[in-house]
Chain A
Amino acid sequence: MNVTRKRRRKVEIPTASTGDIAFLLIVFFMATTKFDVKEGVKVQLTKAVDQAQQKASEIKLTENEMTRIDIMQNGQLSFNGATPVTLSDTDLDKKILEKIEMRDALNKRETDPTLRSTKMLFLVKTDPEANYEYMVRVVERLVTHRDRALISISTSI
């Protein structure tokens, strides 16, 4: 009897698409990964001084040299002890610029050449109960004028 041998079928798993699948996975992870970027407003705090040292080196500054910005508990701002008011970012900018320009005008009239480059010092004093965001808002606006003004964040109690 003539027995025909069964021909073995070639069985193969198709792997042509494996590369596509893997690359699609990579692209998916690349697109969905969220990197933790650190960005914010940079400031330098003043040096720590002990009270005795502070008393010895105390100098009185007038409104021509320093502007004190008080941040109230509700976010209102007071410039040099004036009545606190609610200021928008634009108004705050205007107020800061006004003080800087006043200092610049005084510098121009200054007879002593060493004092002609005096920068306006802004002292930011925040109410302990005020929200942290109120302080950041003022500091961020002051940083805009960093080249023309000095910023000091008060940490004294």
Chain B
Amino acid sequence: MAKIMKKEAPDVSIPTTSTGDIAFLLLLFFMVSTVFVQERVFWVQRERFPFASENIERISRNESATIYIMKKGDILIDDFPRTVEDNSIINAMQAKARDIPTLQVCFRTDRETPYQTVRDVMMRLQDADTRNVVFEVQRKL
């Protein structure tokens, strides 16, 4: 009688040894490439923005300048403290507008800031001819 040899099933397995390395490489890539915004002097939290329910538009970060105005009247433009008394706001905005022709100026302002401070900054923006403004808001639920 002929001897029938049973075919041995080959050991099929997907190699997973490198999965850990790949995942850690991904993790490292995101950790290295993530840029954190470091606010130097102060920060107006989103919870302090005025409320709005409609007409909210998204603004591209690359096309915007951010103006922080605190309740007490401190002004910060793109991380640098400015005042309305001199031409620092006009100079800063004109320089920014030269780099970005479609510049949007975002007001990150405390909702209880006296309008006077905001008005003074807006006047400087008019002088600098950077008149596209965005009043940042928080969504009213």
List the interface of chain A (C-beta within 8 A of B).
Answer: 15-16, 18-19, 21-23, 25-26, 29, 36-48, 71, 89, 126-137, 139-140, 143-144, 153, 155, 157
Question: A45 near B23 (CB under 8 angstroms)?
Answer: no
Please measure, in the bound complex, the distance between the C-alpha atom of A71 and the C-alpha atom of B43, giving whole angstroms.
Answer: 27
> Given contacts A15-B20, A23-B23, A132-B113, are A126 and B131 in contact (CB under 8 A)?
no
Interface of B is mostly: mixed
Contacts of B106 in A (CB 8 A): 38, 40
Contacts of A139 in B (CB 8 A): 135
Contacts of A130 in B (CB 8 A): 114-115
B125 to chain A, nearest CB (A): 6
Contacts of A140 in B (CB 8 A): 52-55, 135, 137
Please measure, in the bound complex, the distance between the C-alpha atom of A157 and the C-alpha atom of B127, giving whole angstroms.
Answer: 15
Question: A45 near B115 (CB under 8 angstroms)?
Answer: no
List the interface of chain B (C-beta within 8 A of A).
Answer: 16-17, 19-20, 22-24, 26-27, 30, 37, 49-61, 64, 66, 69, 104, 106-107, 109-119, 122-123, 125-127, 129, 131-137
Please measure, in the bound complex, the distance between the C-alpha atom of A128 and the C-alpha atom of B116, giving whole angstroms.
Answer: 4
Other-chain contact of B50, A39, A48, A132, A144 (Cβ < 8 Å): A132
A48 to chain B, nearest CB (A): 4
Interface of A is mostly: mixed
18 additional A-B pairs beyond A39-B59, A39-B137, beta carbons within 8 Å, are: A18-B19, A22-B19, A26-B23, A29-B30, A38-B58, A38-B134, A38-B136, A39-B57, A40-B52, A41-B57, A44-B133, A45-B133, A48-B126, A128-B115, A132-B113, A133-B50, A133-B112, A153-B122
Contacts of B132 in A (CB 8 A): 42, 44-45
7 nearest CB pairs, A to B: A18-B20, A19-B19, A22-B23, A133-B111, A128-B116, A133-B50, A48-B126
Question: B119 near A126 (CB under 8 angstroms)?
Answer: yes
Question: A132 near B131 (CB under 8 angstroms)?
Answer: no
Please measure, in the bound complex, the distance between the C-alpha atom of A103 and the C-alpha atom of B41, giving whole angstroms.
Answer: 48
Question: B126 near A135 (CB under 8 angstroms)?
Answer: no
Q: List 11 A-B contacts (CB under 8 A).
A: A22-B27, A26-B26, A38-B134, A40-B59, A42-B104, A44-B132, A129-B114, A129-B115, A130-B115, A132-B50, A136-B111
A149 to chain B, nearest CB (A): 13
B122 to chain A, nearest CB (A): 5
> Given contacts A22-B23, A25-B27, A128-B115, are A38 and B137 in contact (CB under 8 A)?
no
